[in-house]
Amino acid sequence: MNATILHNPRCSKSREALALLHDAGAQVTVVDYLGNPPSRDELARLCARAGLAPRAALRKDAPAVATDDAALDLMARDPATIERPFVETAKGAVIARPADRVRDLL
């Protein structure tokens, strides 16, 4: 199984999700989303795949935005506002908070 994780190695939830993927034998593509941020279009695609409104993919401490378009603009401009970890496999995408949500994709 292939998986992609938008990963922040300083985040314990992100490290837990990555460990669960490795323990499941997944071939994981690790994306340092702070150093290599996803595009606005990629964020929109991930949110749609996860069944999330883009505002639901913002970190709780991110500035408030009025629309989903504004949320996508903010996340593309400032990737630190993206809730983490975002995980995608062939089965779909989730924000793995808690990290056990990764199991939904295995």
pLDDT-derived band at 17, boundaries 50, 70, 90: very high
Q: Which long-range contacts (CB under 8 A, 24 or more apart) does 74-78 make?
A: 75/40, 75/43, 76/37, 76/38, 76/39, 76/40, 76/43
Question: Long-range contacts made by residues 66-74, C-beta under 8 angstroms, separation at least 24?
Answer: 72/40, 72/43, 72/44, 72/47, 73/40
Q: In this predicted structure, what is the pLDDT of residue 102? A: 94
Range of the domain at 65: 2-105
Query: pTM for the full model?
Result: 0.92
CATH number at residue 20: 3.40.30.10
List active site positions.
11
Q: How many domains does the chain contain in total?
A: 1
pLDDT of amino acid 14: 95
The per-residue pLDDT for 75 is 98
pLDDT tens track for 40-91:
999 999 999 999 999 999 999 999 999 999 999 999 999 999 999 999 999 9
